[in-house]
Structure 1
């Protein structure tokens, strides 16, 4: 993932790195800007190459290549742009706090161990040093050897976090060949898509979770599409779970999130409908702490298999994104 371009310079090794980001269409539109002006400015000011994958997929890959300082500047500008978008969407809102900026990196699975560290020591150090939330997905992205690494926080915290990630990349190169994740081009919207996917599901290629369970990637694709279109999520049938592979026998782990008080209602839903939906679809156990006097945040704990946690975390982020979008439309 790195390419040394010569000897040492005053600031250390003169290296060129490449980082890949996974973005939704709306996020891509934001960084491109009108007539491409925003991304042109980012390229000029950072000195980094910023390339956006072609295609009609709901997800796009944004590749950032350049010297380390150029990469930090590009990430800083992208995070600040997303912060502006959140603030603009909430201009007419009575909500006093807003969700953090969230970026998703696509990271070679062989380097994830170095990013997490022994017993989680490295990722804990990064969280404590930068103040950013960092989550490494427990499963590979479909048909690839890469994982999603989600970073949330202020633009400053995200940039500091990227500095740490670049250090990990330089110190621990990927082992073996990396099969890059390529978002699938999606057919037109509408329920026939999901019916078609259900028919193809059993014949589809599956990828492995933790070396033990096969997980048909159409299930995550279907979930992603439903979430993007805000269509009610399917309920779990007794004999045919929506997400086969989320087996309770898989070793469980936990993840903690801090959600602003003003947004916790959108996660819970009327009479707990939304949080129950997220629990049901992901298979994760989700606990929401009581409000602490004076604290603007609420602690949310997700417990389950790595896959259950990843899906629950994704669904919570979708809820947060949708409420910010709705506020902007008011």
Structure 2
């Protein structure tokens, strides 16, 4: 029996869009967004942003939210030329990093099952959106296929509520250089926004992590799988951004596992229990170590407690002004730890 509109728990469906699509959703003088709210009895918002990305949020029960999305899709810039719904589209859904695992499943089983069941193409990006705990799930196919896939994903999310730090993505923090790593849009794609005057050219892949400020640069490494895809070449020593190298290992602050469309199948790290563990290293100026460690180690202890990751800060090498932070855990734990470390730098760096 089909559930009546308005029945069921209320959800917030958040879609990462190109800014150029906002006008079609809002309509002249807000006429279309007002119609959507009235017709579907839903909360529909697409807040302004000066960058190339916006977030469409639809608040309603899942069936109503997806009906509303089905109404919106044909009006978007890339699809408005089609006269019917027989076209391929892509929606990029935002989910909390701790929920990505329930979409992927053990050894990628669940994401494979979703693809076979719905017929949709699904890609789970492993890098969180800048300064957030959100990850992008890109779903493509016919509009009805995409919305059906989203429905199935939200059934899974109901069984796995978000855990840990929750920092929703703010598109004002978009990162032009790493947009394709976290599933975002560039200025050319989004149709809006500009780089700051005098901004440097994009760094090589594997420079600053989206969750890290320019003060915290890193390299990723897979336990037990040196030479994995996802970064520039390098040996097992710490190397400067942009310098490749020979031998095993790779350099890549944001751990470019987002390129794996199997949603994690490319990660061949060591398995502890039934969870996959990876290691990332970032460097900070040694003057900032106090901001992260805190008095008596209180702040670094709190980072470990909240994230569940192992976080070790090495002493600076002789003649070096940098200290290396090694973070070990699941991808979700590492992302949470990086977010908390960045917060410590922002809040306390002026004291040191």
Offset, 1:36? 2.1
Q: What SS does structure 1 have at the residue aligned with 2:9? A: strand
Aligned pairs, number = 214
Q: What SS does structure 1 have at the residue aligned with 2:130? A: coil
Offset, 1:10? 8.7
Could you tell me whether the CA contact under 8 Å between 2:115 and 2:122 is conserved in 1? Answer: yes
For 1:74 and 1:102, locate their aligned partners in 2 and report how far apart those are by CA, in whole Å.
Answer: 16
1:135–1:246: structure 2 CA closer, same or farther, 3 Å change rule? same
Q: What SS does structure 1 have at the residue aligned with 2:199? A: helix
1:192–1:103: structure 2 CA closer, same or farther, 3 Å change rule? same
For 1:51 and 1:158, locate their aligned partners in 2 and report how far apart those are by CA, in whole Å.
Answer: 21
1:34–1:208: structure 2 CA closer, same or farther, 3 Å change rule? farther
CA RMSD of aligned residues (A): 4.2
1:196–1:125: structure 2 CA closer, same or farther, 3 Å change rule? closer
> 104, 116, 125: which one pairs with 2:104?
116
Q: What SS does structure 2 have at the residue aligned with 1:255? A: coil
Offset, 1:16? 0.8
Q: Does 1:36 align with 2:42?
A: no
Offset, 1:66? 0.9
1:64–1:168: structure 2 CA closer, same or farther, 3 Å change rule? same
Could you tell me whether the CA contact under 8 Å between 1:32 and 1:39 is conserved in 2? Answer: yes
Offset, 1:160? 0.3
Q: Does 1:134 align with 2:122?
A: yes
1:11–1:19: structure 2 CA closer, same or farther, 3 Å change rule? closer
User: What TM-score do the two structures reach when normalised by structure 2?
Assistant: 0.51
Kindly name which structure, 1 or 2, has the bigger radius of gyration based on alpha carbons. Answer: 2
User: What TM-score do the two structures reach when normalised by structure 1?
Assistant: 0.54
Could you tell me whether the CA contact under 8 Å between 1:135 and 1:150 is conserved in 2? Answer: yes
Q: What SS does structure 2 have at the residue aligned with 1:28? A: helix
Gaps of 5+ in 2: 175-191, 224-240, 263-330, 332-352
1:194–1:28: structure 2 CA closer, same or farther, 3 Å change rule? same
Residue deviations 1:196-229 (CA, integer Å, cap 9, x gap): 987xx7962659897879xxxxxxxxxxxxxxxx
For 1:58 and 1:253, locate their aligned partners in 2 and report how far apart those are by CA, in whole Å.
Answer: 21
Which sits farther off after the overlay, 68-77 or 107-116?
A: 68-77
In the alignment, which residue of structure 2 is the partner of 1:318?
none
Q: What SS does structure 2 have at the residue aligned with 1:192? A: coil
1:10–1:32: structure 2 CA closer, same or farther, 3 Å change rule? closer
Offset, 1:64? 1.2
Q: Does 1:162 align with 2:150?
A: yes
Gaps of 5+ in 1: 1-8, 92-97, 214-236, 257-305, 307-330
For 2:45 and 2:221, locate their aligned partners in 1 and report how far apart those are by CA, in whole Å.
Answer: 33
Written as runs of structure 1 = structure 2, the 5 A alignment for 1:133-212 is 133-184=121-172, 189=194, 192-195=197-200, 204=214
For 2:132 and 2:217, locate their aligned partners in 1 and report how far apart those are by CA, in whole Å.
Answer: 9
In the alignment, which residue of structure 2 is the partner of 1:319?
none
For 1:44 and 1:209, locate their aligned partners in 2 and report how far apart those are by CA, in whole Å.
Answer: 50
Written as runs of structure 1 = structure 2, the 5 A alignment for 1:205-244 is 239=243
Give the number of the structure whose residues are more often helix, by fraction: 1
Could you tell me whether the CA contact under 8 Å between 2:45 and 2:58 is conserved in 1? Answer: yes
For 2:161 and 2:145, locate their aligned partners in 1 and report how far apart those are by CA, in whole Å.
Answer: 24
> 35, 45, 60: which one pairs with 1:51?
45
Offset, 1:193? 4.4
Q: What SS does structure 2 have at the residue aligned with 1:195? A: coil
Could you tell me whether the CA contact under 8 Å between 2:15 and 2:55 is conserved in 1? Answer: yes
Could you tell me whether the CA contact under 8 Å between 2:221 and 2:251 is conserved in 1? Answer: no
Could you tell me whether the CA contact under 8 Å between 1:102 and 1:150 is conserved in 2? Answer: yes
For 2:215 and 2:145, locate their aligned partners in 1 and report how far apart those are by CA, in whole Å.
Answer: 38
Could you tell me whether the CA contact under 8 Å between 1:139 and 1:210 is conserved in 2? Answer: no
Q: What SS does structure 2 have at the residue aligned with 1:126? A: helix
1:22–1:10: structure 2 CA closer, same or farther, 3 Å change rule? closer
